[in-house]
């Protein structure tokens, strides 16, 4: 198999791709394990993840990689979010609050199937 293209994708997008492979019947054990982990850590459905990534890139001028990490980590506080933003980017408190609101409004709501084990 030859690699045709490589791109960075979010956890929800990776989960969606593996779910499609299962439907095709083309999956091996490590992919099943990976799907289980992706399901546990996914905080958005794939479409919402793509939407949030696009808004972070266009409205807030964040790189694709930074937007992906924000979606993957799903910060809940200004401090958590600031850690993910490159030092050369500065946002006001209002912009930080707007990003956090965007994340909160689009993420999956907590359920027993996507809570982290403590």
pLDDT tens by residue, 84-95: 999 999 999 999
Rounded-to-integer distance, Cα 68 and Cα 44, Å: 12
Q: How many domains does the chain have?
A: 2
pLDDT score for 1:
62
Q: Which domain holds residue 23?
A: 11-41
57 and 100 co-located in one domain: yes
- Report yes or no: 74 and 41 within 8 Å, Cβ to Cβ: no
102 vs 4, higher pLDDT: 102
pLDDT score for 27:
75
Q: Is the pTM of this model over 0.95?
A: no
52 and 102 co-located in one domain: yes
31 and 61 co-located in one domain: no
Residue 2: inside a domain, yes or no? no
Mean pLDDT within 9-16 = 95
Question: Where does the pLDDT of residue 21 fall: very low under 50, low under 70, confident under 90, or very high at 90 and above?
Answer: confident
- pLDDT exceeds 70 at position 77: yes
CATH number, domain at 90? 1.10.150
């Amino acid at each position: 198999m030859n690699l045709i293209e490589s791109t960075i994708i979010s956890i929800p997008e990776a989960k969606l791709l593996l779910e499609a492979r299962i439907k095709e019947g083309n999956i091996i054990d490590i992919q099943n394990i990976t799907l289980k982990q992706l399901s546990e850590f996914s905080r958005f459905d794939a479409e919402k993840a793509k939407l949030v990534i696009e808004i972070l890139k266009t409205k807030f001028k964040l790189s694709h990689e930074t937007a992906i990490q924000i979606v993957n980590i799903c910060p809940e506080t200004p401090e958590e979010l600031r850690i993910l933003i490159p030092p050369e980017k500065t946002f006001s408190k209002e912009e930080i609050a707007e990003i956090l609101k965007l994340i909160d409004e689009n993420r999956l709501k907590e359920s027993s199937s996507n809570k982290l084990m403590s």
